[in-house]
Structure 1
Amino acid sequence: MKKILVIEDEELVRNNILEILDTVDFRVIGACNGGIGVQLAEEHLPDLILCDVMMPELDGYGVLAALRNNPVTATIPFIFLTAKGDKTEIRQGMNLGADDYLTKPFRRKELLGAIEARLIKHDALYQGYAREQSRAVPPVPTVQPERSDSIYYDNLTNLPNQLLVREQFESLRDRTAQEGRCILILCIGLDRFKRINQTLGHDFGDRLLKEVAQRLSQLVRPGDILARLHTDQFAIVLAWGSDKGDRPTLSDPRDSFSSNPIPEAIAQPILDRLTQPFCLENREIFITASIGMSIYPQNGEDLDQLMKNAGVAMSYAKQLGGNQSQSYTPTLQSESLDDLTLETSLRYALERQELQLYYQPIVGLQNGRIVGAEALVRWHHPQQGMISPVKFIPLAEQTGLIAPIGEWVLQTACNQTKSWQSEGLPPVRVAVNLSFRQFNQVDLSERLVRILAQSGLDPSYLELELTESILVQNVELTIAKLNELKSMGVQISLDDFGTGYSSLSYLQQFPFDLLKIDRCFVQDINTNATNAALTNAIIQMAHSLNLKVIAEGVETPEELAVLYENKCDNIQGYLFSRPVKAEEFKRMLKEGKRLERQPQSLPHLTE
């Protein structure tokens, strides 16, 4: 009995599909969101997956990318369910490796017909693979354009695909066993390739992938296996070690990188070659790659395990910033499992009410009173206790969970601020950070209008903080979106100024209200002449553009004294208060906690 996984967030649609499939003797599994869908796919290995495109948290594209990145689930037939079905959407899914699309609403006959066609094709592929595997297969050249239409070759690059890699691996394993050599697996992933597709289009991205394939093919020798796994990932499989069975030494005269004594020495020429510029359509493009490596038989007995371990090492290399290689170790696997466990917990953190908002006061230097607060999310895990935002925020960004978490932060912060006002406390402005994913939501304004309406908070008491990296993706679109937000009455601030792209033209192009000076400029401002000069220049420039200035990370009276002298508007930092729970911040407002200056020009705190 064939097993089918249905990933659909609309309960009525999901149940209808499950009921139809159940009547024709399919074994069916349902998932209510993308994150659970990925977990169920890896656990149950279904024969086919039906997946909705538009879902909260992790959408269909994210589900497909995650499954294609896992060698165990990479070849499962995948059909998208969508209410749109426009060409751009279909192309995006096909580039990720989707097998088919069904446009909602679809009839029972259409659904069953699409499923049957995919299953028949998939079975035919593996029957052909089984027949070929029983034969002795001689080594084949890495790139064979004349067979690009074969089921063993990638249609875009003409490189072997995973089916042919499996086939050749068996032959290579037998040969290296006789020679007493090892096999090295290199999993090569292009860094931030998705950004190229988003900025320059998928056609340009396809041409770039062809060029990458060509460069990689120039680095391998006959007998080495080069393949495209999916999207922006490639693999190289090669015999490693000398023909006599011992590993080659540094003085080995052979010129093949497959003769190098350590995996890192094999990977470095690949990294160097890929960092050289690509010239396409009169445009110069620079890319980098991350490489993960595993060794047979030390890191696995079969290709699936070796590919998985190489993928774990590649992911770790990406986490370290990319443009580097990492060899697999069991420690990396443990860290990867820890991250997966933490990701699973994070997916339920919202509904289990494990997230909390802390508020760090923002103080006006003119009168020393609290004028606002920055809302900062904290996670109290039921078993692990408080988990640092440094650990879970990047994980939320990678998985797409940052969008629902960010919306919860907005709603909670607005509700809390309105609640303080309703109790008669001095009105203050609340600042909320917007992530890249949030800012680029097509319905951001509508979401914000709904949140403000539900909370009853006047928009002038809400400040949205954006970083420079968010703003430079598409300047014209960003300006239009910022103006739309400004028209609602909210305040816009530029966070961490000077740590990103640092183009002063942004201050003129974008409709900011406030500018936040990063802690790195404020630190030791009283003794560091460079920091003092830069901070003073930023404050003066901001004031000339009618922008208010907030200095972040103020920790000492001496730093504060310099900011007073430079006429900074507001400060935020441990000198006045760490981030505190809502109850503690309410107490500060109620008791009128202030920052006072002494005649000696040094501040002190009063209640």
Structure 2
Amino acid sequence: MELKMMILDTRIQIVTICFFIIVYSDHIRNKKLPLLSNYFFSMMLFFTAGNLFFDLVKVYTIIYMDVVSPLINRLCNQLFYATLIMIVAFLFWYVEILGHNQKRMEWKKLTFSLLLLLFPMYMIVFGELNYYIEDNHVYAYGSMTDAFSLTVLIYGIMIIIDTFLYKDTIGKDNRFAIRLGVMVLIGGVVVQFFNHGLLTLGVTITLMILFIYLSLENPKEYVDEDTGTFNKRAFHLMMEEKKEADRSLILVSVVVDDLNKIQTMVGHDRTNHVLKIIGDQMNEVFQLEEHFHGKMMKQVYEFSMQHKRKKIRNTFLSSAYHTRSNVMTFLVEQPLESIQDQLNQLSMFIKEPITCSQYTIAIKAHIDVILTDVYKEQSSCDEVYEMMNYMANHNEARSDTNVHFLDEEIISQKMRYTTIENILRDAIANQGFDMVYQPIYHSKTGDFLSAEALVRLTDTTTVGFVSPEEFIPIAEKKGMIMELGQIVFEKVCAFARKKCLQEIGIEYIEVNLSGIQCMHPDLPSQLQKIMQKYEITPGFINLEITETAFVESGEMLQVNMHELRDMGCSFSMDDFGTGYSNLSRMAEVTYDLVKLDKSLIWPCFSEESGKANAILESVIRLLHQLNVKIVAEGVETEEMAIYLNEHGVTCLQGYYYSKPIGEEAYYNFLLNDQRGRLSLT
């Protein structure tokens, strides 16, 4: 009879333990971040394991009370209820940590929650405990169990309140998982309070752990699937943790500058494997030195067996983070001077080809190093991440060294970058751009029959005039270029309509397109709507595309060009001679004119001009053979104008004729030119 009773009472506990072992095994085999919340969750798992063990053992001790010492029997029940109390206490602290973005708890709340533990712990030690064995049921009851039930109820209410208080920092799905888990636990406690024979606490505790694990502690949320390293989200969480602890950090990033080229060569999977190899190398270089410098950790390391090292390194110790498509980052908590050897090792590593499958891949990469003590101006982890991205782009073109340290100069440049970005956003929101026009002289007629429209950005309160070469790339990177392009095009059309430029003899206005605009499928419809709004004939618009944009834009550019050309717009290749100069691809698309960059023209008027003359004359002959109109940019002297005109370049643009001028000045320039020609006749 006793054996049958024990089997009936322990069956559900054994199944629950098996289920918990599955969850716990999945937890320990996956990479985990050394976050404060992860520590509290691990403590919940620890006490849950103990609780399930004592839940099973106490059934045995109660059944065999005549054999087991009363002291042992009471101790097993005390440990069972004590571990339950600790589970809900750690759950409360866990939710508090999540609600404060990994920040430490407020001391008042921590003190209150600790004081709250005194009552149930007192009752566990001194409270009444009775045992019941009858009708295939085995359980304990008394003031000890009542105190436990009350404590769980109080903690449960506090946790649910927290999910409402921290709705801005704990996601909707996560809040639901926490509430569901707590309600299941409270439900189990209530059921067992009124029906002592149903031993459901182990099941409800395990279900609560499962809900939280799947929603909040799922390790896959922090691991990059492509490389197997921690992802950007994990990096942000770790940065928040370290920042809250006010720790000095060094961020070491390996930036693969030619990742797109590598992907084209060997494919997506092998490219990710290259990044994984880099991440593994960073782990190898930094891991042990970083995490065993403390005396306690060093003692643990020396005590641990050799085969434990890999397990430790793959769990709670830091690892490389895949923070951007072409960037792997490692967080270091040591002084800079202590990791110089590691930086040198890493520098040598990225200079050597990487073997991936049957490929040997030479990569172009550099290392960025950010000391948070140097970059003290950061007010958030997002700003640190933005600095990482800025350095990755800024240092890509440098060839003097492959290890770059954040310094005051870069910080100043980044501040200017951010300032210009904010000015851009404000200008887009408030139409804060000015348009200037540089007239183009047509030597065959002696008239200024066209002009290039150029956008200008000036902020009188901060940086003053901002060059387009500076703010256009920022607009492209920050996703503002389509709005900017639309504003520019609308201003050009509005000005042309207001001043009736077509009626006074202007044949066309050149408007620049960026590479991103060229690839946007909505470009033709956007431009068409604006031209229709201001009643501008498409033939009045000439769209300038740089060589680089043409080569990089792919088929979408040709689709857009075909659609716009069908409307009546014309096209010119801008800055010919500065980009890829891909003549074979030029044959694929018909241009109405090509603009020769000043870099092709100015060398012809230097002391050693022989080769430059030969190159320029060959280019001019080639373009004439292609039946393309030529515009020469950068014409600054009469000598240049005469030379170009003699070689068949009859459209001339430059300071010799006029600098870029504002709308009213340009309109008056045209009127004065017309009056001058009329007076001559």
Q: TM-score range by the shorter chain?
A: 0.5 to 0.7
For 1:227, give the aligned amino acid: A
- Corresponding residue of 1:211: 274
- Corresponding residue of 1:11: none
- Corresponding residue of 1:5: none
Q: For residues 143-197 of structure 1, give each alpha carbon's deviation from its aligned partner in whole angstroms, at most 9, with x where no partner exists.
A: xxxx995666433322245787799999999xxx9xxxx9642023444757988
8 Å CA contact 1:464–1:490 kept in 2: the answer is: yes
- Corresponding residue of 1:228: 321
- Displacement of 1:477 in angstroms is 3.7
For 1:522, what is the secondary structure of its paired residue?
helix
Q: Distance in 1 between matches of 2:374 and 2:503?
A: 68
Q: For residues 224-267 of structure 1, give each alpha carbon's deviation from its aligned partner in whole angstroms, at most 9, with x where no partner exists.
A: 554224442321234757xxxx947xxxxxxxxx4429x5x465
Q: Distance in 1 between matches of 2:484 and 2:379?
A: 38
Q: Is residue 518 of structure 1 aligned with residue 611 of structure 2?
A: no
Q: Distance in 2 between matches of 1:316 and 1:117?
A: 36
Q: Distance in 2 between matches of 1:169 and 1:464?
A: 46
> Structure 1 residues 587, 286: closer, same or farther in 2, change over 3 A?
farther
For 1:446, give the aligned amino acid: S
- Corresponding residue of 1:81: none
> Structure 1 residues 121, 444: closer, same or farther in 2, change over 3 A?
farther
Q: Kindly name which structure, 1 or 2, has the bigger radius of gyration based on alpha carbons.
A: 2
What is the 5 A alignment of 1:113-124? 116-119=172-175
Q: Distance in 2 between matches of 1:123 and 1:302?
A: 36
Q: Is residue 292 of structure 1 aligned with residue 368 of structure 2?
A: yes
Provide TM-score, normalisation by structure 2.
0.56
What is the 5 A alignment of 1:589-600? 589-592=670-673
- Displacement of 1:380 in angstroms is 2.5
% identity of equivalent residues: 25
For 2:516, give the aligned amino acid: R
What is the 5 A alignment of 1:564-575? 564-575=645-656
For 2:605, what is the secondary structure of its paired residue?
coil
> Structure 1 residues 183, 535: closer, same or farther in 2, change over 3 A?
same
- Corresponding residue of 1:131: none
For 1:448, give the aligned amino acid: L
Q: Distance in 2 between matches of 1:409 and 1:169?
A: 41
8 Å CA contact 2:320–2:329 kept in 1: the answer is: yes
- Displacement of 1:375 in angstroms is 0.4
For 1:394, give the aligned amino acid: P
Give unpaired runs (5+ residues) of structure 1. Answer: 1-72, 76-111, 125-146, 249-257, 597-605
> Structure 1 residues 595, 478: closer, same or farther in 2, change over 3 A?
farther
Pairwise CA RMSD of aligned residues?
4.3
1:472 is aligned, of 548, 551, 573, to 551
Give unpaired runs (5+ residues) of structure 2. Answer: 1-99, 103-167, 181-216, 291-317
- Displacement of 1:428 in angstroms is 3.0
Q: Distance in 1 between matches of 2:580 and 2:377?
A: 47
- Corresponding residue of 1:158: 228
- Displacement of 1:553 in angstroms is 0.5
Q: Distance in 2 between matches of 1:170 and 1:486?
A: 53
> Structure 1 residues 247, 594: closer, same or farther in 2, change over 3 A?
farther
What is the 5 A alignment of 1:351-430? 351-384=429-462, 385-421=464-500, 424-430=503-509
- Corresponding residue of 2:416: 338
For 1:359, give the aligned amino acid: Y
Q: Distance in 1 between matches of 2:580 and 2:511?
A: 21
Q: For residues 31-57 of structure 1, give each alpha carbon's deviation from its aligned partner in whole angstroms, at most 9, with x where no partner exists.
A: xxxxxxxxxxxxxxxxxxxxxxxxxxx
- Displacement of 1:442 in angstroms is 1.0
- Displacement of 1:297 in angstroms is 5.6
> Structure 1 residues 396, 270: closer, same or farther in 2, change over 3 A?
farther
For 1:372, what is the secondary structure of its paired residue?
strand
For 1:554, what is the secondary structure of its paired residue?
coil
Q: Distance in 2 between matches of 1:583 and 1:336?
A: 36
For 1:210, give the aligned amino acid: H
For 2:320, what is the secondary structure of its paired residue?
strand
8 Å CA contact 1:445–1:485 kept in 2: the answer is: yes
For 2:664, give the aligned amino acid: E
- Displacement of 1:485 in angstroms is 1.7
- Corresponding residue of 2:425: 347
Q: Is residue 187 of structure 1 aligned with residue 232 of structure 2?
A: no
8 Å CA contact 1:576–1:595 kept in 2: the answer is: no
8 Å CA contact 1:148–1:158 kept in 2: the answer is: no
- Displacement of 1:119 in angstroms is 4.4
Q: How many residues align?
A: 438
Provide TM-score, normalisation by structure 1.
0.62
- Corresponding residue of 1:312: 387
- Corresponding residue of 1:576: 657
Q: For residues 106-155 of structure 1, give each alpha carbon's deviation from its aligned partner in whole angstroms, at most 9, with x where no partner exists.
A: xxxxxx9x96315457999xxxxxxxxxxxxxxxxxxxxxx995666433
Q: For residues 254-312 of structure 1, give each alpha carbon's deviation from its aligned partner in whole angstroms, at most 9, with x where no partner exists.
A: xxxx4429x5x465335424xx47878x999775445321237665699976x955762
- Displacement of 1:516 in angstroms is 0.7
After the TM superposition, which of the residue ranges 335-344 and 373-382 deviates more from structure 2? 335-344
> Structure 1 residues 520, 475: closer, same or farther in 2, change over 3 A?
same
For 2:417, give the aligned amino acid: D
Q: Distance in 1 between matches of 2:279 and 2:640?
A: 53
After the TM superposition, which of the residue ranges 412-421 and 318-327 deviates more from structure 2? 318-327
8 Å CA contact 2:227–2:275 kept in 1: the answer is: no
Q: For residues 526-555 of structure 1, give each alpha carbon's deviation from its aligned partner in whole angstroms, at most 9, with x where no partner exists.
A: 342222222211111111111000011011
> Structure 1 residues 546, 269: closer, same or farther in 2, change over 3 A?
same
- Displacement of 1:205 in angstroms is 3.8
> Structure 1 residues 386, 517: closer, same or farther in 2, change over 3 A?
same
> Structure 1 residues 395, 160: closer, same or farther in 2, change over 3 A?
closer
Q: Distance in 2 between matches of 1:169 and 1:505?
A: 49
Greater strand proportion: 1
